[in-house]
Structure 1
Amino acid sequence: MMNERGNMDEGLLLKYYQQQTSNEENQSVKAWLNESSENMAEYQELIKVWTSLGSKTPEISVDVDTAWNKLSNRIDAYDVIKGEPVVRRLSTPKFTWIAAASVVALVGLFAVFQYLFNKQELQVASDDTLVEQVLEDGSSIALNTNSRLWYPKKFNSEARTVKLEGEAFFDIERDETKPFIIEAGIGEVKVLGTSFNVEAYENEDIRVQVITGRVQLSLSNEIVDSNKVILEAGSTGIINQATGRVYKEIQDYEDALFWLNKRLVFDKTPLPKVFAVLEKNYGIHFTNGGKDVSKCILTVRFENESIDNILSVIEATFNLQFNLNEETIQVISEAQNCGEDL
């Protein structure tokens, strides 16, 4: 099934795209596509070239700048505690396009692909950097590092379905005739139009945090009402990976979108919890130097701050001292002053 260069045979890729492969061929192509992002990019580029050979199928035009400005406004306007708007705006994202290493054009096949191209499944993947994508319906997605999203070139007439592995922030264009569905591991997120964050890492609990609008969270293909929850803005839905239990939490998360907007909002938060949030997001570890700091309560907002600046604020606020040893921070206090918050 491989050609002389050791790549997948283009004729077999065409059969796979036309859904005419046998079970054995189908598994072989899927295995090759999953081997690397380069294989997926080559396949997508082949499809693109084959389709471009005379295709006159009208394309849906999406204003990328407008869509991403809207997403930036949604993210910047979100305040975990008070919902207060902030001044900073995200800059218009710069898209990175993947070029395939080699392309072989199959002349004469464009008529077939005019019909089949709408069914094409595309993939966007992130490694060490955030990736941003605008879908053909105008919905905007920001993909966290080490995450993948599968989506069709064009949605069908019944639903807008995508598949997520990892974490992503979604800002969905409203369409009451076509719900937007995210397949995320054992879970499924269904919306008409809203903004929310989805965590769906392998072997971890699925977590959906709603920023605006309403979201339905359920097990995949689940019809039992007890395994569905409706989430409103400010609430979080969780699917327990081990038990399959679906439930809702109504609480604030200090670092709700830290991976995206680098913002931390503490509102009367006990210092041990502050340390836990900093450990999670900055890759550090706190050790207790002997004093109990559980009565120290912090109210402050950090945005795009280094860990050194954050520690300096905490030291000055509570008369603490931090001793740094690589990634370990020892908390030392001889005369605490936790009677007043920042």
Structure 2
Amino acid sequence: METRIAKYLADEMGKAEREQFEAELLSDEQLSNELQKCAASWEVSSVYTNDSFDSDAAWNKIAPELTIERQLKPEKTNFSFLKIAASIVIVAAAGFFLAKNGGFTIGSDNEPLLVETANQVEEVTLPDGSVVRLNANSSISYDESFGESNRNVTLMGGANFDVQRNENLPFVISTVNSEVEVLGTSFEVRAYENESVEVNVTSGKVGFKSTKAKGEPAVLEAGEKAVLSADGTQMQKGKLKNNNFSAWWTKQLEFENVSLADIAKDLQKTYWVEIEVAESIAKCEATLYVNDQTIDGALDILQATFPAITITKDKENHIKLDGIVCND
């Protein structure tokens, strides 16, 4: 077992051997826990500065860190290695649990656990049972004491949170210039770099404040939203008009007498495309509903609803909407 773990972490396994090992990870809890401890003990800098890797030497380096007796069932750790997502485990061999196009890392004692995405949405269950749906091009991190002495996470990008209630341990989300605090609720945070921070609450209460300006947190209840400017100095609070803010994971959009300009904005956030709307039709209004569609399917519905417009894809992820000026 020891040699196989070392070879797996070093990516020295052949394809067939790696697939067999990963299949065992999904069914053997002791193996997955031991692999987790090995990964946490591995000093990345010393391993990857060499052109070649000696799996025996690597094992000798990490073996003293293991506490599991071979004949005993290992004690469960604060988070489940397999619970994060089996698909992420499969990516692990590509480079010490760090995938360039999405994955997670298990750092040293002083480094947080990181979950990050590229072009996909990931669902993660945290150690306290809270569920996070992580939007594309986003990351969330937390340390080993999460769920015990704190429930603090750091978010870059967008995420939907379904937080387990704990009166004694608030759930705190930190972004570049804001902080969100809850006891237990469902809400969504959008905090991409150099953009305004948006919080939408679907149940419970949320405290939302700027870390760049003085003042008491804004208290948001179910059905309310708040937007903090990119520089963290101004906040606007309002009511939710619909649930389109969550369409990036629900794939459900509803528009009732909404301008094409605003429809385009929601389609951009949902499908990660750029939509250019001609000024002549930007204020034209349409009513349509999109349910579990790709961007092409959503555009087909828009075209059928509004035949007067012309939809053109001139390059990857760039769409143009044009047409004749609509009637008042």
The answer, yes or no, to whether TM exceeds 0.5 is yes
Say if 2:291 is the partner of 1:303. Answer: yes
Per the TM alignment, residue 262 of structure 1 is displaced from its structure 2 partner at its CA by 1.9
Contact kept? 1:319, 1:333, Cα under 8 Å: no
Contact kept? 2:128, 2:147, Cα under 8 Å: no
Name 1:127's counterpart in structure 2: 118
Say if 2:264 is the partner of 1:264. Answer: no
Per the TM alignment, residue 251 of structure 1 is displaced from its structure 2 partner at its CA by 3.1
Contact kept? 1:311, 1:322, Cα under 8 Å: no
Q: How many residues are treated as equivalent by the alignment? A: 257
Unaligned runs of 5+ in 2: 1-39, 46-58, 98-107
Unaligned runs of 5+ in 1: 1-16, 19-28, 33-44, 69-92, 104-116
Per the TM alignment, residue 205 of structure 1 is displaced from its structure 2 partner at its CA by 1.6
1:28-75: CA deviation from partner (whole Å, max 9, x where unpaired)? x99x7xxxxxxxxxxxx999976543487554587988xx9xxxxxxx
CA distance in structure 1 between the aligned counterparts of 2:171 and 2:248, rounded to whole angstroms: 24
CA distance in structure 2 between the aligned counterparts of 1:248 and 1:321, rounded to whole angstroms: 34
C-alpha spacing 1:239/1:49, structure 2 compared with 1 (3 Å): farther
Name 1:21's counterpart in structure 2: none
1:185-219: CA deviation from partner (whole Å, max 9, x where unpaired)? 12111111111111222222221111221110113
Name 1:53's counterpart in structure 2: 67
1:145 is aligned, of 126, 136, 155, to: 136
Aligned amino acid, residue 165 of structure 2: R
Per the normalisation by structure 2, the TM-score is 0.63
Contact kept? 2:186, 2:203, Cα under 8 Å: yes
CA distance in structure 2 between the aligned counterparts of 1:203 and 1:330, rounded to whole angstroms: 26
Per the TM alignment, residue 254 of structure 1 is displaced from its structure 2 partner at its CA by 5.9
Contact kept? 1:227, 1:246, Cα under 8 Å: no
Contact kept? 1:254, 1:277, Cα under 8 Å: no
Contact kept? 1:167, 1:198, Cα under 8 Å: yes
Per the TM alignment, residue 155 of structure 1 is displaced from its structure 2 partner at its CA by 2.4
Higher mean C-alpha displacement, 187-196 vs 145-154: 145-154
Contact kept? 1:322, 1:330, Cα under 8 Å: yes
SS for the counterpart of 1:99 is: helix
CA distance in structure 1 between the aligned counterparts of 2:222 and 2:62, rounded to whole angstroms: 39
CA distance in structure 2 between the aligned counterparts of 1:99 and 1:251, rounded to whole angstroms: 43
Per the normalisation by structure 1, the TM-score is 0.61
The 5 Å alignment of 1:236-255 reads 236-253=225-242, 255=244
C-alpha spacing 1:186/1:156, structure 2 compared with 1 (3 Å): same
CA distance in structure 2 between the aligned counterparts of 1:218 and 1:46, rounded to whole angstroms: 49
Name 2:178's counterpart in structure 1: 187
Name 1:320's counterpart in structure 2: 308
CA distance in structure 2 between the aligned counterparts of 1:278 and 1:205, rounded to whole angstroms: 18
Higher mean C-alpha displacement, 123-132 vs 181-190: 123-132
